[in-house]
Amino acid sequence: MREREVVHARGHENVTAEHSSTFEVTSDDWLTPAGDCILAVEADRVPADFDDAFVEACRDPEATIIATLTVTTDEGDTYTETVDGRGHPDLVFENERSHVGRTSDYVDDRTILVGADAAAADFDRELVDALTAGADVRFELVVERDQD
């Protein structure tokens, strides 16, 4: 079974992508330099908006959750980064501001996947430069799990 959610956002001049254990996409329209895990702002959807079937699929600890960030500059250059993680029974998708992917197993209401194989600091620096320049972002989450 495969479920999908898509979020649109944009980069911000304060994107540094230096955090070593998380990455985040937020609906906030601002970003301070301290937000070193945040990749994009002004997300048009938040975890609380996601379909129930998607949320349920993500609660399977055997599920694979694939986060793909596609960044497109005003000049038409495109950069893509994919992070693989997994589901967790405690994922709630109730947050109304932020999507956070984690390399750890920590779960709160912002967590969208755990056990990520990359964090913000691992993202391609050309992609990060495009985010810093305010590029458009397509953030896609796909959950795959074996059917019962």
**What token pair was written down for 138?**
């397509």
38, amino acid identity = I
pLDDT, tens only, 27-61:
999 999 999 999 999 999 999 999 999 999 999 99
What was the pLDDT predicted at 147? 65
The domains located in the chain, with CATH, are 2-144 (2.60.120.630)
Q: Hey, which bits of 73-113 come out as E strands?
A: 78-86, 98-102, 111-113
93, amino acid identity = F
The pTM is what? 0.95
What was the pLDDT predicted at 148? 52
Q: Is 142 exposed, middle or buried (0-12, 13-18, 19+ CB in 10 A)?
A: middle
Residue 85 burial (CB count, 10 A)? 24
What gap in Å lies between CA 61 and CA 121, rounded to an integer? 25
**What token pair was written down for 73?**
């500059």
What gap in Å lies between CA 23 and CA 120, rounded to an integer? 5
Predicted confidence band of residue 89 (pLDDT cuts 50, 70, 90): very high
**What token pair was written down for 10?**
């944009």
